[in-house]
A and B are shown apart, each in its own frame.
Chain A
Amino acid sequence: MNTAQQARWVRFTPTERIARSMVYIVVVVAVIWSLKTVEVIPEFLYDAPEQTADLLSRMWPFDWGYYPTVVHAAMIETIHIATLGTLLSLVAALPLAFMAARNFTPFPVLNWVAQFIFVTSRSVNSLVWALLFVAIFGPGALAGILAIAFRSIGFVGRLFGEALEEAQKGPIEALNAIGAPGSMVLAKGYWPQAEPAFWSIALLRWDINIRESAVLGLVGAGGIGLALNASLDNLYWDEVGLILAVILLVVMATEIISSKIRARII
Chain B
Amino acid sequence: MSDETPHPAAAPTFSSREAAALPRRSATISVLVENESGVLARVIGLFAGRGYNIDSLTVASVDAGGSRSRINIVTSGSDMVIEQIKAQLTRLVPVYRIAELSQEGPHLARELAMVKVISDGANRAEALRLAEAFRARVIDATVESFVFELTGGTQKLDSFIELLRPIGLAEVSRTGVAAIARGTRMLSSKH
* A and B physically associate: no
* Interface of B toward A, CB cutoff 8 Å: none
* Interface of A toward B, CB cutoff 8 Å: none
